[in-house]
Structure formats: C-alpha cells, structure tokens
Structure 1
C-alpha cells in the first residue's frame, strides 16, 4: 500500500466510516443529529452545525488547491456559517460535507510520493503531507467536541 493510500484510509476513518480511534466518524455522527440538535447552543460551546461547517470549510479550501486553485480560505472566516433554519439546510450542509470529504480522500489517494512531499502553496505551510495530517488531527479534535455536545444535548433532552 502506498503512503497516499495509507493516509487516505486515515481520512476515511475519521470522516466517513471508521471506528478505530473515536468509535465513530463524522458521517455516522452528523447523520444521527437533527437540525434542532445541530443548531442547539450550549453555553459558550460551538454548535454541532458550526463545527461541521468549520471542518467542511477547510476540506473545501484545501481541495481547491488540490484541484489547481489558490488557497483562498482564512481562519477568521472558518466559522462564518450561513444560518441553519430547517432540516433541509442541515441536510444540505451534511451533503456538501460528505461530497467534499469523498473528493478530498480521492485526491489524496491518488497523490504521488513526490506530491505528498512537495511544498503546499508556500513554504510556511509545509508539505502537502503535513497539511493532510493536520486535517486528520483537526478533524479528530472537533469530532470529539461534536460527540460530547451531542451527548450533552441527548442526555439532558435539550
């Protein structure tokens, strides 16, 4: 198995179908949440919808670079989510997230060793591999938050 395939499998695990590290994944978790739960605010915590949007923002932005575009995303905009006011809005966010996750994984799976070790946009960002590993780590970090927020909501019937 190539390094690209190995790292793509790690992405699949956190985003689409794994259970090894967190005993869940984004697809499973966000599909089990209603739009009311996804938008439920608990104290100063981000909502499940905001965290889903946040990870999707980075997937889409980095995917744009993978597809030959420029790096247009900025951290300060990563939580600028349009309002979620219906089940349909929530489903659209989920669908976009899953579409971007699948496309991201596909691109990573096909990357050459040379591309993985190439500079990502600018030397200050490191290599493609470093950025992909960052997506994995960042995704697990927020997956844990989403899991805890869901537990708070369901345990308290919020």
Structure 2
C-alpha cells in the first residue's frame, strides 16, 4: 500500500475513534498513539505542542509518544516555534542544519511539523514528528498529516 493510502486509512481510523469526543487532549493523545504505532520505527517521537493560553506565544508539551520532549518552546524558536510563528508546515531533512534547532533528543535527525487550528481558525497546537533517519519525510507525509490535523479540532 502506498503512503497516501496508509494516511487515508489512518485518518479514517482516527476520525472514527475520536468521533463525538469533546476533549482536545483525548483527540491529540489518540492521534499521537495511532500515528506512532503505524509508522514505528520511522516515527521516533510523535506528539503535540499546545499553545499555552496563559503565556502568549509559547507552546507547552501535550500528548505524545516517544522519549522525553521539551516542556516549553517559545514561538519562533526551533522547528516547532517556527511553525507556531508562521502557521505553515515544514519538513526539515536535517535538523542539525536548521538554524536554532532545539535538540530535545539528540537521536533526532529529521522532523516534520504542522500547525493545528481550532474551530475559529486560530492556532491551537503543532503536530511534531521526529525521526532518527535523515530526510525521513516528504510531501506525502505532509499532505497526509495535514488531513489528519484538520479532523482533530472540536466542533
């Protein structure tokens, strides 16, 4: 099965499991788990950094699967902070070459991060996926993950 088809199946599975669930935490935790299990070992760290409502322009670690994550990331700092500031997805083939990369785990070599928006179109979180493999992500990952991010908001 090609990667696009895998993502379509995962989106349907996540959508089915979280249908009717009003807790954003539960929705993010479910997506993290399903994605991590589906792509293990390529996905080394899979999770969410949530916009902290008490500290403007700062992300705080949310539900994830993997090794210890950074607890807080300011907007504009590192890959996740960059996505929070720009609200655009990014694929980083070599995190060591990314200016200001935050090494939460030194085993990470590549990363993909996507914005997650709430029902009002405001940034709610970022989905962060790390790999120990260099250049592990491509446009099929970006498109499949973006479609999954769209179903995570609570309506």
TM-score (norm 1): 0.26
Q: Is the helix fraction higher in 1 or 2?
A: 1
Q: Between Structure 1 and Structure 2, whose CA radius of gyration is higher?
A: 1
Higher relative contact order (CA 8 A, sep 6+): 1
TM-score (norm 2): 0.26
Q: Is the strand fraction higher in 1 or 2?
A: 2
